[in-house]
Amino acid sequence: MTAARLLMVQGTASAVGKSTLVAALCRLFRREGLRVAPFKAQNMALNAAVTRDGGEIGRAQHSQALAAGAEPAVDMNPVLLKPEADARCQVVVLGRAWRTLAAREYYRVVDDLRPVALAALARLRAQHDLVLIEGAGSPAEVNLKERDIANMWLAQAADAPVLLVGDIDRGGVLAAFVGTLELLEPAERALVRGLVVNKVRGDAALLAPALDFLRQRTGRPVLGVLPYLPDLRLPEEDSTALDGRRSPRAGPDQLDVAVIRLPRIANFDEFDGLAGEPDVCLRFVADPGDLGAPDLLILPGSKSTVADLEALRRSGLAQRVVAFARAGGWLLGVCGGLQMLGTAIRDPHGVETAQPEALGLGLLPLVTTFAPTKRTCQVRARIVAAAGPLAAARGLVAHGYEMHMGASVTALPPSCVVVERQGRPADDPDGAVAADGSVTGTYLHGLFEQPALRRAVLDGLRARRGLPPLGLVAPPTDPYDALADALAPHLDWPALRALVGLA
């Protein structure tokens, strides 16, 4: 069988739009009738997804697979780095937690991971017509190049043509293109086959002199001048995406939903569906003075639960969260947030910290004990909460995933019951609900990604405010179709088709 064609997208820096462009290309080439798969050799992200076989991959590759119409698989992101406290990372290899390493330790094992990445790419190429590869950060970081497995080392090893993307919105894009190419070795530079200018605001025709300069100076064609697209509502990879978000204010008939922005917040993209609802103001709170009195306060997941709990106490947010709940406010803890709500977090194996036990917020009589093995599963769970924010969805079945290390024990009634795990029947209680419903917790990620369940919870919040139910609004358009439609007119499609060998 002929190996799949390749096209790689690298960037002049982080956050220039590589992931978004790859997602758009996945959908556009799928429309050409090709079997397409995304690939990123090494990703660093706290937003992760669980594949059907229980493996863990970066959220971006999961989204790109959906855009390509492909089943998300661990081969699409063979190495995932999940930052923890104290400059450490949990290293996930082919979907499974492998080791927790400091940066220097990780660099010593990079050579062991190169064949893993190449083997994963080879398996994808054997099953698809085209693999779209995403780079990481910039290929021109000269201090990191010897340890790079996601940029030019991979492009050379696979002989992949490269598109170089730059972000004009941050300024200096001409210098970024020229400087990046200048810092590449001649053999690396030869693989760069085109440039893409991203996030253009206003009239792109005004860029004509700049584009002419780029063609003359670099000898590379400009194959795309892409518009700035606000409110894409595509999953983000890490919390730096929250830095530029304004803090909105809820209107008189809007629900105020606040999410605590933990220093190592994980999987916060699972709340994106809330932001798309017309009656919801979703905001992320890092300052105690900004908490206010939301209709629903969410304590989200964390990659380092104990460290983030200590950070909450130092900032004063922990005290505000406790006061909010004790005053009758509705508080929902998800995964690490559930663990924080309990009385104690025990770590006998040193999974997160050297201290054997840490005090929780004490809002639920629940004790968590960390375990050295990580549970990553796709699950279906029935909502059984009789009070609190999830009670309005009682009886509905949620499709989500678990991603945690350890277990929590409580005598409180559960918020959900897992009825299926990895496709096999189950009957396992999950989470906890306080007697008055003010504090609810669950290990289940993805509750708010399902329109019917999300709407039931929101209409429950509306009823508490004395507002009438809104019910399901019109289903949103496929975000990947919308993305592809928005970018297609601004890409040199004939040139891109030729680049991957299409007539």
| pTM, two decimal places | 0.89
pLDDT, average across residues 35-63: 94
Looking at the predicted structure, is the pLDDT value of residue 199 above 60? yes
Task: Classify 254-465 by CATH class.
Answer: alpha beta
pLDDT, average across residues 217-244: 78
Would you state the pLDDT for residue 474?
A: 67
Tell me the domain boundaries of the chain: 5-41+57-73+117-233+481-499, 254-465
Highest mean pLDDT of the ranges 115-124, 240-249, 349-358? 115-124
pLDDT, average across residues 412-431: 96
Q: What is the pLDDT of residues 314-341, one digit of tens each?
A: 999 999 999 999 999 999 999 999 999 9
Residue 117, token pair as written in the block: 């990445």
Q: Tabulate helix, strand, coil % of the chain (nearest 5).
A: 35, 30, 35
Rounded to an integer, what distance in angstroms lies between the CA atom of residue 368 and that of residue 388? 22
CB 200 within 8 A of CB 472: no
> Among 42-46, 244-248, 301-305, whose mean pLDDT is lowest?
244-248
Looking at the predicted structure, is the pLDDT value of residue 246 above 60? no
Looking at the predicted structure, is the pLDDT value of residue 103 above 90? no
Active-site residue, from 26, 281, 335, 416: 335
Would you state the pLDDT for residue 81?
A: 94
Would you state the pLDDT for residue 236?
A: 63
β-strands 79-83, 42-44 pairing? parallel
Same fold, 5-41+57-73+117-233+481-499 and 254-465: yes
SS3 308: helix
For residue 445, indicate whether it is catalytic.
Answer: yes
Instruction: Point out which residues pair with 369 in neighbouring strands.
Output: 346, 407
pLDDT interval class at 241 (50, 70, 90): low
Q: What is the pLDDT of residues 466-502, one digit of tens each?
A: 999 988 776 667 899 999 999 999 999 999 999 999 8
Would you state the pLDDT for residue 238?
A: 55
DSSP tag of 144: T
Element (H, E) at 497: helix 493-499
pLDDT interval class at 413 (50, 70, 90): very high
pLDDT interval class at 133 (50, 70, 90): very high
Would you state the pLDDT for residue 477?
A: 75
Q: What is the pLDDT of residues 91-101, one digit of tens each?
A: 999 999 999 89
Instruction: Point out which residues pair with 81 in neighbouring strands.
Output: 44, 91
Q: What is the pLDDT of residues 143-154, one digit of tens each?
A: 888 899 999 999
Closest CA to 274 of 291, 302, 292, 295: 295
The CATH H-level (homologous superfamily) assignment of domain 5-41+57-73+117-233+481-499 is P-loop containing nucleotide triphosphate hydrolases (3.40.50.300)
Tokens 């293109």 belong to: 177
Rounded to an integer, what distance in angstroms lies between the CA atom of residue 74 and that of residue 62? 9
Averaged confidence pLDDT in the chain: 93
Would you state the pLDDT for residue 113?
A: 96
For residue 335, indicate whether it is catalytic.
Answer: yes
Looking at the predicted structure, is the pLDDT value of residue 175 above 90? yes
Rounded to an integer, what distance in angstroms lies between the CA atom of residue 350 and that of residue 340? 17
Report helix angle 317-326 to 305-315, nearest 10.
90
Would you state the pLDDT for residue 459?
A: 96
Looking at the predicted structure, is the pLDDT value of residue 247 above 90? no
> Among 7-11, 394-398, 402-406, whose mean pLDDT is lowest?
402-406
Would you state the pLDDT for residue 114?
A: 97
Looking at the predicted structure, is the pLDDT value of residue 222 above 70? yes
pLDDT interval class at 285 (50, 70, 90): very high
Q: What percent of the chain has pLDDT over 70?
A: 96
Would you state the pLDDT for residue 82?
A: 92
pLDDT interval class at 235 (50, 70, 90): low
Would you state the pLDDT for residue 245?
A: 53
pLDDT, average across residues 223-227: 97
Would you state the pLDDT for residue 1?
A: 56
Distances in whole angstroms, Cα of residue 127 to Cα of each of 24, 225, 276, 387: 21, 32, 35, 48
pLDDT interval class at 503 (50, 70, 90): confident
> Among 111-115, 153-157, 288-292, 354-358, whose mean pLDDT is lowest?
354-358
